[in-house]
Structure 1
Amino acid sequence: MAVSLSKGQKVDLTKTNPGLTNVVVGLGWDTNKYDGGSDFDLDSSVFLLSESGKVSTEADFVFYNNPQGAGGAVVHTGDNRTGAGDGDDEQVKINLTAVPANVQRIAFTITIHEADSRNQNFGQVSNAYARIFNETTGEELIRYDLGEDFSIETAIVVGELYRHNGEWKFSAIGSGYQGGLAALATDFGLSIA
């Protein structure tokens, strides 16, 4: 049975699941009724962070246009442009044992594509969640439902996997940002042209 987390909680992933190597992080959301004339396109992105909390290179920013990072240990499975249907909208596969040692944290984010020009924000999004499941067995291990705490934000740091004493843990962060993906990328050490 999955461990259900609240904002700010942390939980062991590999210590409580010995032998776990391949996990999938599934991210999902629904959009509320909206008549602004533009479709919603939410995107998940992953930042592979060093001890400093920053990316080392642009290759450490994994998203639909750069779907692999960490030497292939982190794979974004593709962009869902509508969020339609049940289940995960986007997924990231991770081989925990193959993540290079310089990557200490893996941050998972959701942003709204062209949020400013489309006049969209996370106040119009509901049922956002992240879940981690065992890729081999399909067993859901961790689930974090973000709740409805957002209004004007256009980006969210959902949570992060991080190393602690040789094990992987997950932290439920749930921090909203204004400024969309550009603000997040700058905070994580990328320069946006």
Structure 2
Amino acid sequence: MDNLAEYISGAIGLSVGGVLGFLCRAIVEHRLAIDRIKENIRLTEFNKSASEFRCSFTDEIRIVEESTIETDFSDIFNKGYVRHYNAIIRFQAYLSERDRAEIKKAWDNHCYPQGLDGYERHLPSAKFLHYDHSQGIEVVDGKPRISEEHEKSFRRAKNLVMKNLDSILTFAKFK
């Protein structure tokens, strides 16, 4: 009789353990499914925002790609400045702190010539000066000088524009 009681208590314990194990597994799977759904929503929102961010630059990218020596890059980016700045503000909400600092640095490099510090750097007249190649003007060490080769100056400005835009748009790759 003792063996029968042990057998029954063992069977009950095993059954209860099996039911509890099943319930624990179901709860864990449910939590994992919720986490996967949240991650998918986060990625979808990031990708949508990244797409909108990239779209805010498409007109300018097309103009630069099709540009000629007569193209005024400074004028193009001054006209789109507010739209681009607002796009960066909206997109930063989806970036980590580190990426926010990096995109700000990339944005500053796009807007202002390197070599300018403090007050000079944020003068409206300094904005996009490093993209100016008209009459062979180029910026070296933060100071404009006359270029000897206008075509070379144009190519250098165009390459700088594309490099700076690429460094900004790098943050908007799909995940």
Q: Same fold (TM over 0.5)?
A: no
Bigger relative contact order (CA 8 A; separation at least 6): 1
TM score, norm. by length of structure 1: 0.25
TM score, norm. by length of structure 2: 0.26
The structure with more strand, counted as a fraction of residues: 1
Query: Which structure would you say has the larger Rg?
Result: 2
